[in-house]
Amino acid sequence: MHDYPSPINDPLLSPDSRLEALRKWELGQHKKAAAGSGEINNHIHTVYSFSPYTPAMAALKARDAGLSAAGSVDHDSIAAAHEMLEACAIVGIGGCVGFEMRVSFRDNDFFARRKINNPDSEGYAYMTVQGIPRQAIKRAAEFLVPIRRLRLERTRAMCINANTVLHEAGLAEIDFEQDIIAASQYTAGGGITERHLLAALAGKLILKYGKGSEIIGGAEKTLGITLAPKTAALLSDPGNPHYLYDMLGVLKTEFLPRIYIQPDEHECISAKEVTAFAESIGAIPAYAYLGDVGESPTGDKKAEKFEDDYIEELFTEISRLGYRAVTYMPPRNTAEQLRRVQRLCAQWGLMEISGVDINSSRQSFNCPEVLHNEFCHLLDTTWALIAHERLASVNPRFGLFSPDNPLASAELSHRLAVYAAAGKKLDLFRPDESAQDNTPLFSRP
């Protein structure tokens, strides 16, 4: 266990201050290059949505876990991007950035009343926009401003619902400004999620009952929450370092539905609009495959059915909508589910992107599944994603899906192979400069 300097992970400091602390740490450690397992993770949440980690700390923990590449993906926010890219360069791993948001499929009657990959809503789905070139980060941030504002106001309304329950239960109420906005990175461009609200709620329970066995009975008595034996054991331990996140998992599944307010199509804009925007900035729009859920690794999803019963129709639709990729998480699905997704990606010419969403201190940064034979191609697609992002930052025509790309007429598999080779040639300590040197790799097939 590393005893990292606290400024690296201090959300109250500026990104520049965190990066400077990271540089000093790396100099003291005499790190020369990343030497790890070769694993990758393109879907790490940071404090700019809800996470224990600043972008600087996320990059450092990813490298120290043995990862060769890492990417930040925050809910409704791209605010982590510059810090994440610079931090990855400091620690010598590949870096890429994007954002995650919910979009509407409701213009299609088949999907309008189905849960697609969103446990909370019918007709709305999660997607990512990844591989955002440097010059497009500002435009992405501007695009997300109204989404962030609308989600903030909906969360404020849910807070009123929660306070009604807390008042009736004799618990302290949540102060939205102090307990939620001030505890987030909203004013710095971050997003507000239901987890911010539930963390504030958890704080009121801890304030009343403390950490330990008393909170279990208190939660049942005041909020009607019955804990499973495994969770009860975790919350009975006052020294549990993941206490808040274990409680969040319980509240998300057992309490959130009581106060939840459904978003509308102003907040969850059409998928077609988002894919078109991603194309306009040279980024890669990706559908986030969930699949039918058994036991949730993060403890915040119930066993439930999602896209698997109509997966063929879904791939037809996402292709029509302009998606370029599918992102999925090998640890979360069965081999049968993932073989089906891989087959359909090949059939429809969609890039595969791997990443396990990290938003809890209990989660490991490792994803050893990507080293298995059936998933190791995801290592190459990650390096292709990194090369796309860096090369499109040099010149937009080098975007992987740009119609002006010298390889535009080539099969996707060939383009991915060329880009993966380019990504692996980057000098990870100075990727922006070395990207300039890679452009001669490209020629028409």
In this predicted structure, the answer to whether residue 438 has a pLDDT above a threshold of 70 is no
How do residues 25-51 score in pLDDT, each as one tens digit? 999 876 555 557 899 999 999 999 999
Task: State the DSSP H helix or E strand holding residue 368, giving kind and residue range, or none if neither.
Answer: none
The pTM score is 0.94
> Quick one: pLDDT at residue 425?
93
Q: Which two tokens stand for residue 231?
A: 């969770």
How do residues 76-93 score in pLDDT, each as one tens digit? 999 999 999 999 999 999
Whole-number Å distance between alpha carbons of 144 and 269: 11
> Quick one: pLDDT at residue 437?
72
Whole-number Å distance between alpha carbons of 323 and 348: 10
CB 335 within 8 A of CB 374: yes
In this predicted structure, the answer to whether residue 156 has a pLDDT above a threshold of 50 is yes
Pairing relationship of beta strands 284-288 and 124-130 according to DSSP bridges: antiparallel
In this predicted structure, the answer to whether residue 341 has a pLDDT above a threshold of 90 is yes
Confidence class for position 441, pLDDT limits 50, 70, 90? low
189: which residues sit within 8 A by CB, 6+ positions away? 48, 77, 78, 79, 141, 148
Residue 336 sits at the vertex; the CA angle it makes with 312 and 275, to the nearest 5 degrees, is 40
Q: For 322-330, what is the mean pLDDT?
A: 96
Confidence class for position 245, pLDDT limits 50, 70, 90? very high
> Quick one: pLDDT at residue 293?
82
How do residues 363-406 score in pLDDT, each as one tens digit? 999 889 999 998 999 999 999 999 999 999 999 999 999 999 99
Confidence class for position 435, pLDDT limits 50, 70, 90? confident
How do residues 113-150 score in pLDDT, each as one tens digit? 999 999 999 999 999 999 999 999 999 999 999 999 99
